[in-house]
Chains A and B, each alone.
Chain A
Amino acid sequence: MSALTRLPHILLVAVLAVIGAACGGSAAESGGDGTLAGRASPDTTVFYKTIGEPEQLDPGFVMESEGGEVLATTFERLLNFNPEDMTLEPGVATSWTVSDDGLTYTFRLRPDAKWSDGVAITAHDFEYSWLRALAPETGSEVASLLWKIEGAEAYTKSTPENRAAAREAVAIEAANDSTFRVRLVHPVAYFDRYAAFAQLSPVPRHVIEEHGDQWSRPENMVSNGPWTVTEWATQQRIVAERNPYYWNAEAIPFDRVEYLIAQANMAQWNMFEAGQVDILNRVPQTFIPRLRREQPPAFHEGPFLATYFYMFNVDEPPVDDVRVRQALNLAVDKSKIGTFVLKGGQDPGAGPTHPLLADMGYTPPEAPAFDPQQARTLLAEAGYPGGEGFPPLKISYNTLESHKAVAEFVQQEWSKNLGINVELENMEWKVFLDANREGDFQIARRGWTPGILDPKELLDIWKGDEPVNVSGWANARFDELLEESDRTVDQEARLELLAEAERVWLEDAPGITLYYYRQHNMVQPWVDGFAENMLAAYPTRHFSIRTTAPALASQ
């Protein structure tokens, strides 16, 4: 209560403080010259970042990007990826080999890897952690990431009666303390990329056995990354302190990493502008054109490995007719989305894969270009010349300003080019997911972030039995081609099979790829080590704060 009675007093002090500050002289200028002026904290041993509220910090469960960001800082996987060139580097594993048939991956673990409480990390920790993620009792979404391992899917889907045998059959094995081995269902050329996923970090068995579900609360947390979470104040901050037992402790640039939690983009932006955070990964959409013009050194943009598309419900007329679907696809000038609608410079959508795949030698089949004339012809063939007699059609999307803008643009294009009127319907996220699952939609907005640069990861979601695919579209030829690619070890042949599958998709058009995502970041002038990458993943250990004095001329 004393705080309450003191409040009028406190306010008076506040008013005086304001007056005092007003008389105190000019405010700090922004650090455009590359100095620390403008940074809210002078302490360069702390790195500040802003994120949304994570759901939890148990690697066995985290599927959203916020939690993933904290995991990337506080846990270490078998392998790390280099943000500059996306190559894999040793993490807890020093080396790894693949058997000739492409099925068995063997990881050699470093002997000096330790948990933040000093306990050594062995291959048994990984065995325990991956099996834990798979266990049906755990009930984790992470499980499906590991289903490429022999016996893994069967274990997750096992019943209490056959569970023990199913667990025995999973091909995850610690051969000894320093050798970890998994065998896959079929060759996956990029399985080592999975080994760098934050969700597949090891979890400390000895701590979980002591604290149960509560082990990942900050007071119990033990992790194996450069930093360990020591504080989590809901909606305020997550603090991670240096892990003294980290095997590469000398290479760690900061004593502490502070995540300032902010849900709203605007609040995050304000923190960046006030110099409270060193980097901002979520730039408000409407600011982008201005920032691109005015802030070239701080503003960074580039492609992001994610697709934005509309999914048709192919059981619902009129989009059960492939000619209608193709007409709708041909009638949208997707190049306008990045320039006039979202203004973020997003690349126009074509097929279901991503243009960045060219980097790994993938050549997608040519996707049909914007062609309103051809679209009208197709629509007429389907029985709706000039859009006449076209049945009611609705685009459903989850409530968000940018989804609305895109939907309105598509609505306009179809009205202009095909003479049809479609309705727009926004739904709150959970209602939207429910409608999707029930097949209660005609056209639904979706997006996909594969996290690994391989066409397979983007095509897989369209398989007939894939839970993400709620379109009702199941094409035997498409599924067959994907399965054949799984059996194919030769990379070139494999990519050709995938391109063929993509061609099948394009012919049947169960969806319209509208655009490929782009990322926009703001980096403070005093931050070194920002290297843009297609996964928009920026490990904190690669950053540093420049403390050197500015050039004489600018003083």
Chain B
Amino acid sequence: MFRYILKRLVSSVLVLVIIVTASFFIMRVAPGGPFDTERSMPEEVLQNIQAKYNLDKPLWQQYLLQMKSIMLEGDFGPSMKYPNKSVNDILAEGLPVSMTLGVQSLVVALLIGLPAGLIAALKQNQWADYTAMTGAMVGISIPNFVLGPILIALFAIELPWFAAAGWNSLSAGLVPYLQTSVLPSLALGSAYAAYVARLTRGGMLEITRQDYIQTARAKGLREWLIVRRHALRGALIPVVSYLGPAFAGMLTGSIVIEQIFNIPGLGSHFVNSAFNRDYPLVLGTIVLYSGLLVVLNLVVDIAYTVLDPRVSYEDA
């Protein structure tokens, strides 16, 4: 197991190096530069600025300098758009917000999705099943950029319970935090809740037809005990394998929600840094997101071994 994790980590670093290299060069192919403005600057001034950011050096030299400072010092350098801030500062400010929002949305997805899926499976083809699955269908169909403004209109403007936009971290107190975080995590989590519900229902239906469940029933165990002790573990495997990509999707896909609710996460940097040709910030967000994806996939793979004894990486 330990060797497996080590192996995966080493290959992840390789993957990251390839990603950084590719993004570095692709970015430079795009026309325009960080210091292009409507009133172009005199050549002398421009040269001074470019020298400040090493942009006057040949591209391969810039690449090596950047790689060296990323790999050895973990330093992405100063942002070109926000010269007073380092890329590390900007990422450090945005990451906790994006993570908090992601985790909370995941919790929303599970809190709604799991019970809905379980009830639907246990009451298959009864009204509860139909209600839950119709709800799930609606949840999947409504995009979050529609749900977000509806939630704002209802619960921030008509009924002023929550903030229409902005973000308070948990350190500002529980109530201010919830005022800004409940609506966006509902908007972000609901589509995932719908998937979770459908996956849970599917998993449960499959498992409850297995022989060992029939055996448990024949023993005369009570239904909830069967569900809890025997069925749930197996039924959750598809849900767990979905959670990794789902969480990654919530982190990277939160850009829309971050825009609508004006949340200071990483999503907008991910997009705007590219528009601004803020090269260091582009690299920073790419490395961070790809790093998160790699780690999340690893976590999911490890979680399999916990849930399904048949999966093992010992001999891998």
Q: What is A's interface to B at a CB cutoff of 8 Å?
A: 3-4, 7-8, 10-11, 13-14, 17-18, 21-22, 27-28, 40, 53, 55-58, 61, 63, 136-141, 143-144, 156-159, 213-214, 216-217, 233-236, 260-264, 266-267, 270-271, 273-276, 428-435, 437, 446, 467-468
Contacts and interface: CB of A to CB of B under 8 A. Distances in A.
A219 to B, nearest CB: 11
22 contacts: A11-B104, A11-B107, A40-B163, A55-B81, A139-B46, A141-B45, A143-B42, A217-B84, A235-B265, A235-B268, A263-B259, A266-B260, A270-B152, A274-B156, A274-B165, A429-B275, A430-B30, A430-B33, A430-B277, A435-B31, A467-B39, A468-B38
Contacts of A18: 155, 161, 182
A21 B161 contact: yes
B188 interface: no
A458 B213 CA distance: 82
Contacts, number: 180
Contacts of A141: 37, 39, 41, 45
B166 interface: yes
A13 to B, nearest CB: 7
A44 B91 CA distance: 34
B157 A139 contact: no
B143 to A, nearest CB: 15
Given A234-B94, A234-B264, A270-B157, A213 B83 contact: yes
Interface of B: 30-33, 36-42, 44-46, 48-49, 52, 81-85, 90, 93-94, 100, 103-104, 107-108, 111, 149, 152, 155-161, 163-167, 170, 174-175, 177-178, 182, 259-265, 268, 272, 275-277
Contacts of B94: 234-235
B37 A274 contact: no
3 A-B pairs with least C-beta separation? A430-B32, A235-B264, A270-B164
Given A267-B165, A276-B165, A143 B93 contact: no
A433 B37 contact: yes
Contacts of B111: 8, 11
Contacts of A28: 160
Given A8-B111, A260-B166, A274-B157, A267 B260 contact: yes
Contacts of A4: 103
A185 B265 CA distance: 49
Contacts of A429: 32, 275
B84 A214 contact: yes
Contacts of B81: 55
Contacts of B100: 3
Given A21-B161, A53-B82, A138-B48, 15 more contacts: A11-B107, A21-B159, A28-B160, A136-B45, A139-B41, A234-B85, A266-B149, A267-B165, A274-B156, A275-B160, A430-B30, A430-B32, A430-B275, A467-B42, A468-B39
B56 to A, nearest CB: 12
Nearest to B79: A55
A263 B262 contact: yes
B54 to A, nearest CB: 14
Contacts of B157: 270, 273-274
Nearest to B261: A267
B48 A233 contact: no
